[in-house]
Amino acid sequence: MANIDADAAFVEFDRVQKSYDGEVLVVKDLNLKISKGEFVTMLGPSGSGKTTCLMMLAGFETATHGDILLNGVSINNIPPHKRGIGMVFQSYALFPHMTVGENLSFPLEVRGMVKSEREEKVKRALDMVQMGDFLSRRPAQLSGGQQQRIALARSLVFEPQLVLMDEPLGALDKQLREQMQFEIKRISDDLGITVVYVTHDQTEALTMSDRVAVFEDGRIQQLAPPNDLYERPDNSFVAQFIGENNKLSGTIKSMDGDIVAVELANGKTMQALAVNVGAVGAKTLVSIRPERITVGSNDGPNATEAQVLELIYLGDHIRCRLNVHGDEEFVVKVPNSAGHQHLVVGETTNVSWDPRDARALDPL
């Protein structure tokens, strides 16, 4: 994992703002430091400003305010072709009138490289993505996955230090997408390049990244390694956006260190970990991951009754929709392991969870 040190930052967004029309800020006060060799993903719903950030870094959009630094140098006034940043587009953007070989040799040609050197580098880049036999094909003769590999090879062939990827796997089917995720990760690790990756797919973000920046409404809501992001979300948006999540809203009744007592809408009280809450009396939203709930257990301070509303068989686990504390959308995942508890729709059982797995966050 890369160490984040202000001086070692390879890419830095410094109080960057962006507006297209002078009325709405698409990016509001973005501060982000990425160190060399790091794989950082910008994750967020569409319209959250993540692609705009990428375009500003590539040089296709100018920042309305603030600085973007590359290797400590402001690149605000450097045109895109002098930034030396590789880029993979969602549409691949392979030049349709050129063969695969010509596509790859294009960035080397415009750099004035001699033919023999070009051919060698093109060959090496194609071998890297296992597409060595496709040199003389046209992009239209390739499948989506193959085009994706070529686009990746083209963005790497001129050996950039930084590669940007704008939802590069968005157009592929699920299986191919998973395969390419590994491939991209492997290549970026092998070459030691810095990657800034944009996606709206949380699985992709979690599996590939060193760190994930969750975007919402033009701001980074949380910047953290994948496990932190999932297990320790800072706020309700992140908790909701990453993975499945049960929400119970209530009011803070008392505080004891980092454990708070929350009074729920039905008058009952539960204990939760204070993560992002106000003072006593403030509203809060408690987030509990479905897999952290024990069914049939009566232990602990958070044990309560639950009525089974719906069961969905999913093979490796069974998804149960319960009524807990009056919330009818409360979901629990029961692993389909040997001797697991068999629930019946309509029965009443007990559920419980550790106070440290219930995170009291800001109210929505």
Q: Among 9, 32, 53, 58, indicate the residue that binds other proteins (CB under 8 A).
A: 58
The 115-154 contact track toward other proteins, x by CB under 8 A, reads ---------------------------------------x
20 binds other proteins (CB under 8 A): no
Residue 311 has a CB neighbour count (10 Å cut-off) of 15
Stretch that binds other proteins, among 68-76, 105-113, 182-190, 265-273 (CB under 8 A): 105-113
85 binds other proteins (CB under 8 A): yes
223 binds other proteins (CB under 8 A): no
Stretch that binds other proteins, among 102-110, 180-188, 258-266, 352-360 (CB under 8 A): 102-110
111 binds other proteins (CB under 8 A): yes
Min dist CB 60 to other proteins, Å, is: 6
Which one, 162 or 223, has the nearer CB to other proteins? 162
Which one, 84 or 243, has the nearer CB to other proteins? 84
Which one, 93 or 255, has the nearer CB to other proteins? 93
Q: Are 6 and 163 in contact (CB under 8 A)?
A: no
Residues facing 194 on adjacent strands: 162
Q: Among 3, 5, 79, 281, indicate the residue that binds other proteins (CB under 8 A).
A: 79
87 binds other proteins (CB under 8 A): yes
Stretch that binds other proteins, among 42-50, 78-86, 182-190, 193-201 (CB under 8 A): 78-86
The 282-321 contact track toward other proteins, x by CB under 8 A, reads ----------------------------------------
Which one, 113 or 303, has the nearer CB to other proteins? 113
Label residues 106-145 b or e (16+ Cβ within 10 Å = b). Answer: bbbeeeebeeeebbebbeebbebbebeebbeebbeebeeb
170 binds other proteins (CB under 8 A): no
**Which amino acid does the sequence have at 35?**
S
Min dist CB 325 to other proteins, Å, is: 49
The SS3 of residue 65 is strand
Q: Are 87 and 163 in contact (CB under 8 A)?
A: yes
Which one, 156 or 277, has the nearer CB to other proteins? 156
The SS3 of residue 75 is coil
Which one, 108 or 242, has the nearer CB to other proteins? 108
Which one, 89 or 292, has the nearer CB to other proteins? 89
Q: Which long-range contacts (CB under 8 A, 24 or more apart) does 305-310 make?
A: 305/348, 305/349, 305/350, 306/330, 306/332, 306/348, 306/349, 306/350, 306/351, 307/346, 307/347, 307/348, 308/343, 308/344, 308/345, 308/346, 308/347, 308/348, 308/349, 309/345, 310/345
Which one, 91 or 298, has the nearer CB to other proteins? 91
Phi and psi of 32, rounded to 5°? Answer: -155, 130
Q: Are 96 and 138 in contact (CB under 8 A)?
A: yes
Which one, 15 or 81, has the nearer CB to other proteins? 81
Residue 96 has a CB neighbour count (10 Å cut-off) of 9
Crossing angle of helices 100-109 and 144-156, in 10° steps, is 20
Stretch that binds other proteins, among 32-40, 73-81, 241-249, 302-310 (CB under 8 A): 73-81
Distance, CA of 230 to CA of 247 (rounded, Å): 15
The SS3 of residue 21 is coil
Q: Among 107, 145, 226, 355, indicate the residue that binds other proteins (CB under 8 A).
A: 107
Min dist CB 81 to other proteins, Å, is: 5
Residues engaged in binding other proteins (CB under 8 A): 58-60, 79-87, 89-91, 93, 95-97, 106-107, 110-111, 154-155, 158, 164
